[in-house]
Structure 1
Amino acid sequence: MVIGATTLARRVCASLREGGHPVDHLAAPDDQDLRRALAARPAGVAVLVDDDLSALRHALAVRHVCDTVRIVVTVFDRTVAQQLELLLRDCVPVSPADLLAPTLAGLCVDPDVLAVWGDGHGAVAVRQQEGRLVETAWRAAPAVRRRALLGRLRGQLQPHDADARLLLIGLFGILAVLALDWIWLAGVFHKPVSTAFLEAARVVAGVGPATPHAGHPGYEILSGVAMLLTVGFTALLTAGIVDRVSGPRLVGVLGPRVLPRAGHVIVVGLGQVGLRLCQTLRQLGVPVVGVEREPTAPNLRLARSMGIPVVLAHGGDRAVLARLGLGRACALAAVGSDELDNIAVAVAAHGVAPDIRVVLRAGEDEAIAETRSLLPLGLTRDIIRTSAAHVAAHLTAHPAGAVPRRVVAGADCDYVDLPGRGLVRRPVPAGDDCAHVSGGGERDTAQSVPGMR
């Protein structure tokens, strides 16, 4: 039984029916619909809706009616997923974002790698060798690691936004005045270092030299000019601090959240897929910067807590991409929920850096069903097709313990990792839509709900 009217639900239903499995598809069932459908004792239930709360409600209702059926449910929030696993027996939460992140990360770091993930002892890469898939240890080449390290170092104290620039101009201006006055007093007047520092600090604070220096009008003029300059530098420093404190502070000035300047990956679209991709790349030691155009996007707070620098801008703006150092980056991943926007980002990226590696997310837009047409733009992966392969493998697993552990998305097919069998090729259904309606012969006219961010 499949519950949901999303594109993923229709793909899963079509895949199961093509494989010879009878499917009962409920687009938006109420409690009575669930009771009637579960009376037939289905072998498995897939709850494939676009909202975590709806998914939680449907999963709880299914388990209440039938305490033995296997449940696969799409959940994006990891806290909700953990609670479902604790509360419901034989319930498998699946996040399309988590499923596709290793594949997207692999394409970003190496075009010859199908996927890369950490196994607790290092990174593992999946490659295609002699017509079969093999898993090998992965580590970035020394030149790539060195370039990434230098890119991080170059990003320190190089502000990206206006408030950070004001802060640094004010701070370094005050420090320059303090150092110049201190050196003059200690080197020319031969004052003790501590006394020279006190008098220099008084100049910076705007209260003038500690004592007059007869016969040295040049120093008095310098002190007066320094005090006037300090007033301006203090205003700039204060403005920068106020903007940083009151703003979102998504990019750091110093530390791990600075913008890398080379050897990094630019991730455009910080929804669930983009956030998981950034997190995976960071775990692999690859510098990353996120680009999000919505200042109120819910994942911005999570990105900041994870130490991921995020720039609020439109990823299709060529000036923005140039400012982010696209020409010195390893790759750009356009993984927003709007696939037409992803294509626009890819076109802009090739306009700024023609040789840049571009990774595209596709699968949800009906106008972009044929992903081969996007090959000139970059490496494209269909998130819906890959998620459908994973869910269908869960529902048809025999015995129940032989469920897939992960899925690898290829260009033309998907591979599910089955216990004892390794990565097994999953055929792509000939049809990608569902003509099945629960309890009737009419075609299901439910439209796809674009919620898989």
Structure 2
Amino acid sequence: MVVCGDGGLAHRLAAELRGVYGEQVTLVVPPSARGVRRPVVGRARATTAALLDRMVNAAVSRTGGNGSGVVGGGEAEGTVRLLETAGEPAEELLAEAGVDRAAALALVYDDDETNIRAALTARRINPRLRLVLRLYNRRLGQHIEALLDQTAALATGSDEGLETSTTVLSDADTAAPALAATALVGTSKVVQTDGLMLRAVERRPPGPGEVADPGLFTLALLSATSNDPAGADGSEGSGEQAPQLLPDAAAVAAATGRGTVVLEQVSFAGPPQPVARAGVPTFASLFSRRLRWSLAGIGGCVVALAVALMLVTGDPPLHATYVTLLDLFAINDPASDDASGRQILQLLSGFVGLLLLPVLLAAVLEALGTFRTASAVRKPPRGLGGHVVLLGLGKIGTRVLTRLREMGIPVVCVESDPEARGIATARRLRVPVVLGDVTQEGVLEAAKIHRAHSLLALTSADTTNLEAVLYARSVRPDLRVVLRLYDDDFATAVYRTLRAAHPLALTRSRSVSHLAAPAFAGAMMGRQILGAIPVERRVLLFAAVDVAGHPRLEGRTVGEAFRPGAWRVLALDTSSSGGGPGTAPGAGPRPSALVWELPPTYVLAPGDRVVLAATRRGLAELLGRRGRRRTATP
């Protein structure tokens, strides 16, 4: 396995491949620049490199001259070879890393163009190479994936097994559901790939007399302290207190008083919903609330004056309204010869007309201002409360913002860069944005932090996130906060300290590389990874696997193939076979479909393809690669 990158995800991915799957890995990274502490990337490199050293349990031994080194060695499960280079992954560098004889290559640079250029070069060097690319642009990623697969098919003269030859993933898309769900309680987590939508819902324990809906499958049991502010956050629990992934029926029945993650709904996603036109405000947004109330009050006065004129003069309703409007706009003849009641009504109509003129002028100016600023960011409304304050509109923040708006959650964003990539998304979604440095006094107050439900600190700087959270806690000690931190160990340390300082407030800390690495590692192992669903601080993978060649699946029933805590068969893909429970022999191929709720007695045939949920170590064990050293080609 070859991993090329310039951030924390590359180090985490290499550690995942070696520590979980027991693979031999070549890690290609820029030099560490020991004399300079680089912002963000330097910290990510240092922390994840330390994690890598702990996982491989070996020292770094340097080799001379070429800037390469070897991490680990001597253990049968795999080694990590570190190759440092200051240049981009050109053909010479990829050849030195052994791409020509590698099984898989992961390109996880922060720049999409760098990853695409390296992928095209690697496909030319080794057409059979399994490629995993990190791309933020999803539409471009689909085209690149199809292009690289087509190139491999033409170069090898075969299209067998090419469905997993190229996989395009995004760490932002992988981590966004976890970060969005952490800020809320009882939210659903969705994995969507190629039209397949898996929806996992986090449910609270049923109350007295309530019966919990089991859904399709119980994917996990949450830790006993998952909703306790002073409790352990998943990975810190142990034994019965820790979350249990893929529990069996007995464990679910015995786990009373614990929340669950249930696979509630499975369907094929339809066409995307049309996006609202940006820059065109709705009619209600043209005028402020005060102006609307003023117009409504004047309208009520006009109606009251018209009714009074009907009662005084006996005119019909239409004529009385017409005369009232003439008096209102001062274009009627004076009622000097009429009765005193008519004269009083005319004076009142003129007075209301005087009030109407500034209101109409304000309406015109406000409407023009609304159209002029429709392309600008909105300001938080005065009475806003119960919202989520989102710090940072970079790659991760933009994806999280989209997720929150899809769930209908009110959001106020804070961003220091007016040219950030998420500003356009916030403008399109009509989300209020406060432009300013979150570390400056008054910025969080402008985002209504004192009335917010939770705070999501997702900027690219750990110190900025931590400073913002500490300041927010000084304003609201009971505020629910979620921090994005690069290193998972640092995130755990911050979580423990904040929990001890504020025992009555919910605190969560997350590492994006920790959430994204399992999906990238699974894709490198050659399985069609549909996505990953976070369960507290753990990860549950969804994958499409061919039964043939897997002794733990082939020839076994669905019940026998279920391994509690490791993997579970969820559905049978009948798109490439004529099978499936209840299918008549010789019926021919069926259209793409998934058979859910398979009977436990259904026997998995070699030609079947199944969708399963698995833990990281469970997937590694199912692939049968742990404990086996790969022999390098001379």
Q: Report the TM-score, using the length of structure 2 for normalisation.
A: 0.53
One-letter code aligned to 1:292: E
What is the match of residue 190 of structure 2? 117
Displacement of 1:382 in angstroms is 0.6
TM-superposed CA distance for 1:225, in Å, is 3.8
Higher deviation after alignment, 59-68 or 282-291: 282-291
Aligned to 1:436: none
Q: What is residue 446 of structure 1 aligned with on the other side?
A: none
Paired residues, number: 390
1:51-74 Cα distance to aligned partner (Å, 9 max, x none): 222222222222233221111111
Q: Which of 494, 516, 533 lines up with 1:373 in the alignment?
A: 494
Structure 1 CA distance, aligned partners of 2:290 and 2:409?
30
SS of the equivalent of 1:73 reads strand
Q: How far is 1:404 from its partner?
A: 6.6
The 5 Å alignment of 1:40-55 reads 40-55=100-115
What residue in structure 2 maps to residue 354 of structure 1?
477
State the Cα deviation string for residues 143-176 of structure 1 (Å, max 9, x = none): xxxxxxxxxxxxxx9x9xxxx7974444443442
- What aligned pairs does 1:157-168 form with structure 2 within 5 A after superposition? 167-168=288-289
Q: 1:200 to 1:325 in 2, by over 3 A?
A: farther
Q: Distance in 2 between matches of 1:56 and 1:259?
A: 46
Task: Select which of 447, 456, 463 maps to 1:333.
Answer: 456
- What's the C-alpha RMSD, in Å, of the aligned pairs? 3.8
Corresponding residue to 1:177 among 295, 298, 306: 298
Structure 1, unpaired ranges of 5+: 140-156, 428-453
Tell me if the contact between 1:199 and 1:209 (Cα under 8 Å) persists in the aligned partners. Answer: no
SS at match of 2:478: coil
Question: What does residue 166 of structure 2 align with?
Answer: 91
Distance change (3 Å), C-alpha of 1:370 and 1:181: closer
Whole-angstrom distance in 2 between the partners of 1:405 and 1:80: 19
Q: Secondary structure at the match of 1:117?
A: strand
SS of the residue corresponding to residue 2 of structure 1 reads strand
Alpha-carbon shift at residue 361 of structure 1 (Å):
0.8
Amino acid of the structure 2 residue aligned with 1:194: L
Q: Distance in 1 between matches of 2:27 and 2:390?
A: 38
Distance 1:390 1:179, change over 3 A: same
Offset of 1:360 from its aligned partner?
Answer: 1.0
1:128 corresponds in structure 2 to 222
2:73 is aligned with 1:73: no
Q: Is the 8 Å Cα contact of residues 100 and 126 (structure 2) preserved in structure 1? A: no
C-alpha displacement of 1:241: 1.8
Asked whether the equivalents of residues 491 and 509 of structure 2 are also in contact (C-alpha less than 8 Å), the reply is no
Higher helix share: 1
* 1:34-57 deviation line (CA, Å, top 9, x unaligned): 355456321111111112222222
TM-score (norm 1): 0.72
Decide which of 331, 341, 344 is 2:467's aligned counterpart: 344
Q: 2:434 aligned with 1:312, yes or no?
A: yes
Aligned position for 1:23 = 26
Higher RCO structure, 1 or 2 (CA under 8 Å, sep 6+):
1
Matched residues in 1 for 2:286 and 2:476: separation? 27
2:33 aligned with 1:33: no
CA deviation after TM superposition for structure 1 residue 358, in Å: 0.7
Contact 1:317-1:348 at 8 Å conserved across structures = no
Q: Which has the larger radius of gyration?
A: 2
Q: Which runs of 5 or more residues in structure 2 are unaligned? A: 31-87, 150-164, 203-219, 224-239, 247-259, 265-281, 499-506, 546-566, 568-612, 619-634
The separation in 1 between residues aligned to 2:353 and 2:25, in whole angstroms, is: 83
Partner residue, 1:2: 3
DSSP 3-state at the match of 2:299: helix
Aligned-partner Cα distance in 2 for 1:39–1:121: 34
Change (3 A) 1:296 1:246: farther
Q: Cα offset for 1:407?
A: 4.9
